[in-house]
């Protein structure tokens, strides 16, 4: 059996911009993508803490170190600059691998900077 598990997340990212007329996606600071193990064009799920909106899109790489988190295209209707969001990736794992898996969690401050250079933690419900 395969299980779908959280692979990584950027926790409490602040939306910095929104571009309705863009083709669509979520621009993420390249440094944050690397820390969270998110590849360009990888599917991401986004949970808006302010509005409760939940949606899927794909990641595109933004300039490193600026903290950019930009909702593009239709995603721009799902939030606004200043909103807090959680960006999550998932992956399928074989049963034994899933039981040993530890997701990568990057906690962000109000400026979209990692609270620690890299934080990997076991998530508990």
Domain ranges of the chain: 2-94
Of 8, 22, 47, 58, catalytic: 58
Shortest CA distance to 37 belongs to which of 73, 83, 89?
89
- Known binding-site positions for substrate: 57, 73-75
The confidence score (pLDDT) of residue 24 equals 76
Number of Cβ within a 10 Å radius of residue 78: 19
As to burial, measured by CB atoms within 10 angstroms (0-12 exposed, 13-18 middle, 19+ buried), residue 14 is: middle
pLDDT digits (tens, 9 = 90+) for 3-38: 999 999 999 999 999 999 987 799 999 999 999 999
pLDDT lower than 50: segments of the chain: 120, 122-125
Annotation says 25 is catalytic: yes
CATH architecture label of 2-94: Beta Barrel (2.40)
Of 25, 47, 90, 125, catalytic: 25
Are the CB atoms for 89 and 43 separated by under 8 Å? yes
21-58 exposure pattern, b = at least 16 Cβ within 10 A, e = fewer:
ebeebbbbbbbbbebbebeeebebebebeeeeeebebb
The confidence score (pLDDT) of residue 69 equals 98
The confidence score (pLDDT) of residue 124 equals 41
The confidence score (pLDDT) of residue 23 equals 79
The confidence score (pLDDT) of residue 34 equals 95
């Amino acid at each position: 059996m395969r299980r779908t598990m959280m692979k990584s997340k950027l926790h409490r990212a602040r939306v910095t911009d929104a571009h309705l007329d863009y083709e669509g996606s979520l621009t993420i600071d390249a440094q944050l993508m690397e820390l969270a193990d998110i590849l360009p064009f990888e599917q991401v799920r986004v949970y808006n803490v302010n509005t409760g909106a939940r949606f899927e899109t794909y990641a595109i790489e933004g300039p490193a170190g600026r903290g950019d988190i930009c909702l593009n295209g239709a995603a721009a209707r799902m939030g606004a600059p200043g909103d807090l969001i959680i960006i999550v990736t998932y992956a399928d794992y074989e049963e034994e691998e899933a039981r040993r898996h530890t997701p990568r969690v990057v906690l962000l401050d109000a400026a979209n900077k990692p609270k620690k250079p890299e934080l990997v933690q076991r998530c508990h419900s």
